[in-house]
Amino acid sequence: MAESYNISVRDCDLYYGDFHALKNVNIEIEEHEVTAFIGPSGCGKSTFIRIFNRMNDLVEGCRITGTIKIGLEDIYAKTTDIPLLRKNVGMVFQKPNPFPMSIYDNIAFAPRTFGIKKKGDLDGIIEHSLKQAGLWEEAKDRLKKSAMGLSGGQQQRLCIARALAADPQILLMDEPTSALDPISTGKIEELMSELKSDYTIVIVTHNMQQATRISDKTAFFLLGEIIEYDSTEVIFSKPKDKRTENYITGRFG
């Protein structure tokens, strides 16, 4: 992978069969920033972030045109190493999805896949990842216990730790706190602010306050298009497009 981890999308269209889900999307996502995607359900936000680690490849009938680059590398080039891409572009989903195994094995999964076998090395990665995700103190005495016994908020932080253990450069988060209580949400938001110095973070959120709290830039999606993309402060104080204003002020429809 290249040195820089900004994401550059040019003239991107995506189709699910006949359905034109993303229309001529262009965006530059900066590294070391949190970029939020907002927009009504079905507007293409999740579809769009799944492009960045080629998760849409798994969807039958999905066709993508345009150029998507991470740093200088075209991630849709024939030579792209997809497992490596997915290692570098981690993903956290709306619902915590720990594997039905121990906390330790959840986090060790990616490093083991990429050839790290020594217990000492794995122990170090697990401690570091759990600390980064703010879960170490709560989990250190139960590493061998099932991850399914953790609370929802803890499970989500475990999923973040699991993504971080793969040593990614980009972290995609698709509504990571929508199923969590305010305290767990607060912890994860705090975490994102800390992690952004090392990662490029993209978050899909339906929570407008969350977007204003944590993101540097915000893109508003509507019907498969990016209507407006600007600094979060501009989007939430003086958006240029009336459709953006109508959406964020709750006057849609």
Partner 1 sequence: MSIRVRYERELKGVFDNLVLMCRHNEVAIEKCVKSLIERDFELAKEVYAEDKLIDKIEREIEQSCLRILLMEHPVAGDFLEVAAALKMITDLERIGDQARDIAEITLQFGDDTYLKKDDTYIKKLVHIPQMAVIVIQMVKDGVQAYINRDLTLARSLGKTDDKVDELFNTVMNELTALIRKNPENAEQAILFMMITKYLERIGDHAVNIGEWVEYAITGHHPKD
Residues in the chain: 253
Task: Find the helix packing angle between 119-132 and 152-165, rounded to 10°.
Answer: 130
Q: Which residues contact 89 (CB under 8 A, 6 or more apart)?
A: 52, 53, 70, 168, 169, 170, 172
- The distance of closest approach from Cβ of residue 237 to partner 1 in the complex, given in angstroms and rounded to an integer, is 5
- The distance of closest approach from Cβ of residue 37 to partner 1 in the complex, given in angstroms and rounded to an integer, is 17
The residue (of 179 and 208) whose beta carbon lies closer to partner 1 is 208
- The distance of closest approach from Cβ of residue 226 to partner 1 in the complex, given in angstroms and rounded to an integer, is 18
Query: Rounded to whole angstroms, how far apart are CA atoms 189 and 134?
Result: 11
The residue (of 65 and 209) whose beta carbon lies closer to partner 1 is 209
List helix spans (H) across the chain.
Answer: 45-51, 82-88, 103-113, 119-132, 136-139, 152-165, 182-195, 208-214, 232-237, 242-248
The residue (of 31 and 228) whose beta carbon lies closer to partner 1 is 228
The residue (of 161 and 222) whose beta carbon lies closer to partner 1 is 222
Contacts with partner 1, residue ranges (CB under 8 A): 208-209, 212, 235-239, 244-245, 248-253
- The distance of closest approach from Cβ of residue 238 to partner 1 in the complex, given in angstroms and rounded to an integer, is 3
Bridge partners, 13 (sequence order): 65
- Residue 237 sits at φ, ψ, to 5 deg, of -115, -45
- The distance of closest approach from Cβ of residue 42 to partner 1 in the complex, given in angstroms and rounded to an integer, is 18
The residue (of 167 and 245) whose beta carbon lies closer to partner 1 is 245
DSSP helix/strand/coil, 27: strand
